[in-house]
A and B are shown apart, each in its own frame.
Chain A
Amino acid sequence: MSESQDTNLIDATEKENTAGKKECAGCQPCTNCPSSMEEQEADEGMDRAQFFRAAFACTAMCWGGVTLLPIFMYLNPPQTEETKSKVTSLEVCKLSELPKGTGRNFRFGSFPALVIHTDDGQLHAFKAICTHLGCTVQFRTDKQDIYCACHGGQYDPSTGKNIAGPPPKPLPALKAEVINDMVIVSRV
């Protein structure tokens, strides 16, 4: 009794070993299981060994994965002062520097913007990002329209409406006004 139990114990250990090795080498795991009366118990031992192997490997991987978290947090850029403080209004230039029929690109916080002094004497300001694929648009003095050089999109200079080319939406408008002879652009 004692003897057979004993071999069982060792067998189980050995099998765990060989199973582990075989998997490393990538062969079919243990196809030649002994077909004696011990088979069932040996199989049980195998399953349990497999369970422990999987459990060990999984928990080890989870803990290893945790170490990737600091790397992710490291690469995640910090909130800088620039992105935190949102510009709400901006002095662009003197009105005299922006004659009728011209436009001017400028930086409004984190995005480019465009202010246009149309021939009828009104000021219009837009977010200067083309609604098609995000290029920066410009005011064409010769054609008197807002134009995107990337794919030829065109917008109306007084409303920002998309009038030709691929842009699907009008440009978002900003508020433009003149205070003390200064062109001031602010969020709507």
Chain B
Amino acid sequence: MNYPLWVVPHIGGTWVIGIISIIHVFISHFAVGGGIFLAFAEELAYKKNDDRIYDFLKQHSRFFVLLTTVAGAITGVGIWFSVSLVSPDGLASLIQSFTLAWAEEYLFFVAELATAFAYYYTWDRISKTEHLFLARLYMIFSIFTLVIINGILTFMLTPGKWMVNHYWLDGVFNPTYFPSLGIRILIMLAIAGMYALVTSSRIKEPRFRAFMVRYCAKWLLPVFILGPIFMVWFLTQIPQASIDTIFTGIQTSGVGNFSVLARALYLSMVLSGTILLFAYFGPYLNPKAFTFRIAIMFMVCGLAVTGTTEWMREMLRKPYVIYGYLYSNGIHKDDVQTISSQGFLNKGKWASALAQHANSEEERGELIFRYQCLACHTADGYRSMKKLLGARDEEAIENFLQILRKTDPKSNNYTGIMPTLAVNDAELKSLAKYLSTINVEERHHAEQVGAKPDVKENASTVQ
């Protein structure tokens, strides 16, 4: 509300951030896990004094350094850009709370980049001992980038003591910090192993290839042995309300007794299980037949699990950016009460300026829609309002908005999923008026069909 907003049609701003973030998550996990892998594999080469492992590592590190530095940096900056355009109020809050942490993150990131380049360009130029030292340095710096960002990511879900004293270190070392750090490192090791499987499947010499493939497969073991422990630890630390969201929220009815989140949870468990089996039957039992194509497919599966799990973690936080403090549309939870009596459009700097130029009621409604709904919804694409409104007329929409305005979970069962609507009475009417212009077609269609069940829906069940 204090800043201008970027409106992305159809896919919504969420997915712009989402797509960039998912790529960034993959690459950053590559970077940290790969850093650990390089250090350990180089130690193996150093101990065995085996030139073939060195040659392999040289090949391996070329694409690795290129990918992590270039693509990692681009997507990292991309997240900053997209978030500041789509969700500026939330970002401002995070920056103000953790200025020092962000600065440190930046420092470690620069150090990581520098050692990465030094590592790659000093192959064969410095002694093997010195090069091993560089590899270890790179590993340490890349782990440190995780140490900071993990604090901020987990803080968003479990702010912990920070809610009371607003002390930034309490925010960083919040209740889910350590379990999450553990899980992430384990996942990073697995991803590093999968990526190394791809590169080692290209080794020409069969016996050495079999050795390397098997070595890389072992990197997948830790996450399956220790992962469940950290996962249980993590789940005991998150708010009960968000666990409830997993099993009851969002889309329970119609498709059975599981919500979409629970299904995603189960999918990610099933996929990780099959990855373990894959690693066992593929590279471990049968390293000779482990081809490049299979390695690629394997990695795609692994990334799919990581993506699903990350998506779930994001969904857990609904409807907050900072759990229990700041809603995903950038409105502070504590401000909702004041706004609903004094009005929203005279509050934020940018929003109030725009409101002065809004001539009609619809325009004011649209302005509220942008600031309070667009963070998650679009008019006609992802989580489409057009579809969700159905054939409701203005009055029905108004009544529905009245429910969303309530803070008591008993009278508003959307409290766990959606931010409380923060508007005064006049603004609520404007919003309803604007929303009723979105689903004109739907209402029209419903009038024609009458009270019959939706024909389209029936047809789709034939498939």
The residues of A with any CB-CB pair to B shorter than 8 Å are: 1-2, 5-6, 8-10, 12-14, 16-17, 20, 52-53, 55-57, 59-60, 63-64, 66-67
Most buried by B among A12, A57, A63, A66: A63
Alpha-carbon distance between A64 and B270 when the two chains are bound, in angstroms = 9
**Residue in chain B with minimal CB distance to A14:** B207
Which one, A1, A10, A16, A67, contacts B214 given CB within 8 A? A16
A56 with B221: in contact, given A10-B211, A66-B273 (CB under 8 Å)?
yes
The size of the chain B interface, using a CB distance under 8 A, is 23
Alpha-carbon distance between A13 and B218 when the two chains are bound, in angstroms = 14
The residues of B with any CB-CB pair to A shorter than 8 Å are: 48-51, 207-208, 210-211, 214, 218, 221, 224-225, 269-270, 272-273, 276-277, 279-280, 284-285
- Given known contacts A1-B49, A9-B48, what 8 new A-B pairs fall within 8 Å (CB)? A5-B50, A10-B208, A55-B221, A56-B221, A56-B280, A60-B276, A60-B280, A63-B224
**Residue in chain A with minimal CB distance to B207:** A10
Most buried by B among A10, A13, A17, A59: A59
Which one, B49, B269, B276, B285, contacts A2 given CB within 8 A? B49
In order of increasing CB-CB distance, the 4 nearest A-B pairs are A63-B273, A13-B211, A59-B224, A60-B280
CB contacts (< 8 Å) of B218 on chain A: these are: 52
Alpha-carbon distance between A5 and B49 when the two chains are bound, in angstroms = 8
The A interface is mostly helix, strand or loop, or mixed, namely helix
Alpha-carbon distance between A9 and B269 when the two chains are bound, in angstroms = 36
CB contacts (< 8 Å) of A8 on chain B: these are: 48
Q: Are A55 and B225 in contact (CB under 8 A)?
A: yes
CB contacts (< 8 Å) of B225 on chain A: these are: 55, 59
CB contacts (< 8 Å) of A1 on chain B: these are: 49
Alpha-carbon distance between A6 and B207 when the two chains are bound, in angstroms = 12
CB contacts (< 8 Å) of B207 on chain A: these are: 10, 13-14
**Residue in chain A with minimal CB distance to B51:** A2
Q: Are B50 and A64 in contact (CB under 8 A)?
A: no
Alpha-carbon distance between A52 and B222 when the two chains are bound, in angstroms = 11
Alpha-carbon distance between A57 and B281 when the two chains are bound, in angstroms = 10
Alpha-carbon distance between A66 and B227 when the two chains are bound, in angstroms = 14
CB contacts (< 8 Å) of A63 on chain B: these are: 224, 272-273, 276-277
A67 with B50: in contact, given A10-B207, A17-B210 (CB under 8 Å)?
no
A64 nearest CB across to chain B (Å)? 7
A57 nearest CB across to chain B (Å)? 7
Alpha-carbon distance between A155 and B439 when the two chains are bound, in angstroms = 74
